[in-house]
């Protein structure tokens, strides 16, 4: 690569300085955003919120899909979510599913597979707990 010899030595083409300047701006912008984040954000514990998105019959059971969102600035790990079919406050069936992560200010989605059709009975899906990553 002889043609590359002493590329650093020259005073530099204007393109190089323009690229350098643009890069410096990008780095500063990124540092700015993260610094602002660092200064203003309080580390609130994860706030998990489950919302049902769809429910339908599948081959050998019943599927209820849901989104789980985390509004806080802390990520929750190993989030256990339990789905229950309720009959007058009694749980007829309970199914657990575990999310590896529900990242801060983001959402994940999943599904609970019941063995029976809940029909007109209530379906409750809630997060049971989590660990800090």
Could you say whether residue 106 binds another protein (CB under 8 A)? yes
Return the DSSP state at 46: P
Could you say whether residue 33 binds another protein (CB under 8 A)? yes
Window 43-62: contact mask with another protein (x via CB under 8 A): x-------------------
Residues facing 67 on adjacent strands = 51, 109
Q: Are 76 and 51 in contact (CB under 8 A)?
A: no
Q: Which is nearer to another protein, 29 or 128 (by Cβ)?
A: 29
> Segment contacting another protein (CB under 8 A): 30-38, 50-58, 81-89, 115-123?
30-38
Among 61, 75, 80, 82, binds another protein (CB under 8 A): 75
The sign of the torsion formed by the CA atoms of 49, 52, 58, 60 equals positive
* Sequence-ordered list of residues with C-beta below 8 angstroms from that of 26, at least 6 positions apart, any chain: none
Q: Phi, psi (5° rounding) for residue 107? A: -135, 155
Residue whose token pair is 């992560």? 101
Among 9, 88, 89, 119, binds another protein (CB under 8 A): 9
Residues within the interface to another protein (CB under 8 A): 1-10, 12-13, 15-17, 19-24, 26-27, 30-31, 33-35, 37-38, 41, 43, 73, 75, 77, 100-101, 103-109, 133
């Amino acid at each position: 690569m002889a043609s590359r010899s002493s590329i650093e030595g020259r005073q530099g083409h204007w393109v190089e300085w323009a690229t350098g300047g643009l890069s410096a701006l990008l780095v500063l912008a990124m540092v700015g955003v993260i610094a602002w984040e660092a200064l203003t954000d309080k580390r609130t514990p994860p706030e998990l919120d489950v919302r049902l998105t769809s429910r339908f019959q599948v081959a050998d059971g019943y599927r209820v899909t849901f989104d789980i969102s985390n509004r806080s600035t802390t990520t929750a790990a190993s989030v256990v979510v339990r789905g229950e079919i309720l009959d007058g406050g009694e749980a007829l069936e309970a199914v657990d599913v575990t999310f590896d992560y529900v990242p801060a200010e983001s959402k994940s989605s999943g599904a609970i597979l019941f063995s029976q059709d809940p029909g007109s009975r209530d379906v409750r899906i809630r997060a049971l707990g989590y660990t800090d990553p």
